Structure 1
Amino acid sequence: MSVHKVVEFVHLNEQYDSDLFFEKKEKMANGKSILGMMSLLTTVRVGEIVNVKAKGDDADQLVNAIVTFVEQADLGEELLDYYEEEGVETVEKAMTSSLTCWSPDVRNLAKSYLKTTRH
């Protein structure tokens, strides 16, 4: 998925109260987290399996909306512009280098995120 499609995807998820999680191999991402979804969905290739877990009162509607989004989205190979490419390649680096500026709670959360999203 292109960066633009991931942003659209996350905004769609945010319209629902339910939580949606995506898992690919050992990586897991919250469907409402732009960083998490970018690190996961921008690396998915044709034929790879991504497991989806939905939890909440409107989970069925959310899953249906996501299925419709994926079916209707043009997910073909899109060339990334310079800023998109740079963003995809540097999200983890930016998070790692900014750890020292964050409060202990945020730093621990970021470290946990980085551990779960590394290849």
Structure 2
Amino acid sequence: MKLEKELIFPKGFTVRKVIELVTANERFASKIYFQTKSHQCNGKSMLGLMSFMLMTTIGESYIISVEGEDAEKVIQFWNKFVREIHENTTLSYWEEEGAQTVQEAMCQSISFWNSSVRSVAQSYLKPGKKEI
């Protein structure tokens, strides 16, 4: 049996949660894949799932694709796992707003900063972005 379900990427995925997820996924006989428009990974691969989680933003649409005898159990497990993470996670301001939003706000407020603030802000900007 093959099942696919489109979902919205939740907040709260930490390295510990990814390890828990891969460990749980390994118990299922089914093949498990996660995909977005730009990338796909094997749900039983630690490195693959870690990179998928890093490249997927909160609120982005993704598909879980499961093929095997226990596909329904995998989907049920995934729904429960994600719901628990989402309900039990409080994000910091930085995580909630997203690094890109915070970075844009920092760049827009440059004229109000003194040299000390500029020095600290510069350390948070990604390479190649606007110099302060």
- Would you call these one fold, judging by a TM-score over 0.5? yes
- Which residue of 42, 52, 58 corresponds with 2:70? 58
Counterpart residue type for residue 82 of structure 2: V
Matched-pair contact (CA < 8 Å) for 1:3–1:42: no
Q: Which consecutive unaligned segments of at least 5 residues does structure 1 have?
A: 79-119
Question: Normalising to structure 2: TM-score of the pair?
Answer: 0.55
Higher strand share: 2
Could you say which structure has the higher helix fraction? 1
1:17-56 to structure 2, matched below 5 A, reads: 17-56=29-68
Counterpart residue type for residue 44 of structure 2: K
Q: Distance in 1 between matches of 2:89 and 2:34?
A: 17
* Alignment correspondent of 1:77: 91
Instruction: Count the aligned residue pairs.
Output: 78
Distance in 2, matches of 1:70 and 1:55, equals: 20
CA RMSD of aligned residues (A): 1.5
Q: CA deviation at 1:75?
A: 4.6
Structure index of larger Rg:
2
Structure 1 residue runs of 4 or more that deviate by more than 4 Å after TM superposition? none
Structure 2 unpaired stretches of 5+: 1-12, 93-132
- The percent identity for this pair of structures is 32
**TM-score for both structures, normalised by structure 1:** 0.60
* C-alpha distance 18-76 of structure 1, shift in aligned 2 (>3 A): farther
